[in-house]
Structure 1
Amino acid sequence: MDVRAAGPADLDRIVDLHTRARIAYYGEGGLPVGEIVTPELAREQRAGWMAAIDAPHKHVRCATVDGVLVGLLAMGPPHTPETNAAQLYQIHVDPDRWGRGIGGTLHGLFLRHLETEGLSVGLLEVWERNTRARAFYTRHGWHLDGTTRPGPADAPYLGMRRSAP
């Protein structure tokens, strides 16, 4: 597997993988596909990913196997005024490749980012009903920090944090 910085030419493949991952995890959480995939959300996804790719203070990484996009990592400054921290915005893995270590590799890159930048804390949010992601992050040393914000289907996004390695 190769991991590299994302560029504008990756946008279509990034949006496609992100959409398939969202359908899988929101679907497992009981959200109908019609609420996950809408033209408005598709526009927001494209704009959001392009802004993240272009932002000098954010980092988007593509994991590929034989030239095929299999995973994504997005990270950067925290959403809150936390000091000495970085936010893990998103890790997405092609649902057909779950359980093959791709997410763990991308997570490791986030931890290396904390180390290289001299940051002591990692922050993230996970949808309450995304039990697969919650278990993944817990296995990797994250714990709930008591913060929440509204999410789809009356299930909040839960804040998690972990110390840098």
Structure 2
Amino acid sequence: MFWAPYGAYWRQARKLWHTELLSERLLKLHEHVRREEDTISAGTDTSAVTIEWTLSELLKNPVALTMATEELDRVVGRDRLPTEGDRLPYLQAVIKESMRMHPATPLLSPWRCRRDAVVGSYSIPAGTCVAVNVWAIGRDPSVWEEPNDF
């Protein structure tokens, strides 16, 4: 609606949008807020995505869900919440497997090579921008026996 090409009201709203809400002064004034929001949302979003994928995989795999539930009941019980001191190796393995199959960030942040390097059969000259595809590594059949199975 803001960008409708007709009417004095919309022209005024568009002018206000550009001159006030998107002004360089206001954007610079709130830059620190955006940086903090990005930092907070980056940490919470990746955790939420990992939990969501883990629950999704457990729901699709009733045997794994039963084993994780039994481990929680045996180690933690139903009277308290888990703590960092609780040893839950099966649940940790489930979360790691979920992160392998569904990485929160499929591509790592790009890096620039500082010096010439050789990785496998590839020569990477200094100054090359390199992005690591975590998703492809987690699904590589030469590394994982059943890369698409949880």
Q: Does TM-score exceed 0.5, indicating one fold?
A: no
**Larger strand percent:** 1
**Structure of larger gyration radius:** 2
Higher relative contact order (CA 8 A, sep 6+): 1
More helix by proportion, 1 or 2?
2
- TM-score, normalised on structure 2? 0.27
